[in-house]
């Protein structure tokens, strides 16, 4: 029976796709500080936390992923740099190129498409009928007011006193 790799282990094939998308941070020449942890280990730590559901501060140091705060900061920096959006686009393009995407079951929502308020409205459709039809929801009578000072009922009761 074959043992499956844990989901937080990054395969070489996946790492070839992810690594070029990650931003490079240049170290200072003078006083460079501590050498940053390898991005592949940090990504494994991020996947471990997301898969197991443990808190960032509870990530075991013994696994070699660094501390939870390092993983969390790197996840935030990569999110702000647009890494995950670009990775998503790369993977979709690869799947589309080999014909593995079934677009008949695709769903688009506001996370993927912008629906801005105040956008131009489409032009009003021209009527195809000979004349405008009568409204079935309103009558030609004067609209009633719900204000107690202006309704006919309120005026009738106040004039008798």
pLDDT at 161 exceeding the cut of 50:
no
Helix (H/G/I), strand (E/B), else coil: 41: helix
Cα-based torsion angle of the residue sequence 102, 105, 106, 108 in order, rounded to the nearest 10 degrees: 170
In this prediction the pTM is: 0.61
Burial class (CB in 10 A: 0-12, 13-18, 19+), 42: buried
Helix/strand/coil (H/E/C) assignment for every residue in 44-112: HHHHHHHHHCCCHHHCCHHHCCCCHHHHHHHHHHHHHCCHHHHHHHHHHHHHHHCCCCCHHHCCCCCCC
Q: Sign of dihedral through CA atoms 116, 118, 119, 121?
A: positive
- Segment 105-122 mean pLDDT: 71
More confident residue, 34 or 113: 34
Q: Which residue has the higher pLDDT, 105 or 150?
A: 105
Contact predicate 70/61, CB 8 Å: no
Q: What pLDDT, on a 0 to 100 scale, did the predictor assign at position 115?
A: 67
pLDDT digits (tens, 9 = 90+) for 42-66: 999 999 999 999 999 999 989 989 8
**Choice between 125 and 78, residue whose per-residue pLDDT is larger:** 78
Residues 12-25: pLDDT tens digits?
A: 999 999 999 999 88
CB 64 within 8 A of CB 40: no
Percent of the chain with pLDDT over 70: 70
Q: Residue 144: is its pLDDT beyond 70? A: no
Bigger pLDDT: 34 or 108? 34
Residue spans of the domains in the chain: they are: 38-100
Indicate the pLDDT class of residue 104, thresholds 50, 70 and 90: confident
């Amino acid at each position: 029976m074959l043992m499956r790799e844990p989901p937080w282990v990054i395969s070489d094939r996946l790492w070839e796709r992810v690594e070029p998308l990650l931003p490079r941070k240049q170290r200072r020449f003078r006083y460079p500080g501590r050498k940053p942890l390898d991005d592949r280990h940090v990504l494994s730590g991020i996947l471990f936390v997301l898969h197991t559901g443990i808190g960032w501060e509870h990530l075991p140091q013994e696994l070699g992923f660094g501390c939870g705060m390092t993983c969390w900061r790197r996840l935030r920096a990569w999110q702000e740099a647009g890494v995950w959006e670009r990775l998503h686009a790369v993977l979709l393009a690869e799947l589309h190129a080999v014909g593995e995407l079934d677009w008949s079951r695709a769903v688009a929502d506001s996370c993927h498409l912008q629906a801005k308020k105040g956008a131009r409205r489409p032009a009003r459709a021209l009527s195809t009928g000979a004349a405008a039809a009568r409204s079935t929801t309103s009558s030609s009578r004067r609209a009633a007011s719900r204000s107690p000072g202006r309704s006919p009922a309120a005026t009738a009761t106040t004039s008798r006193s």
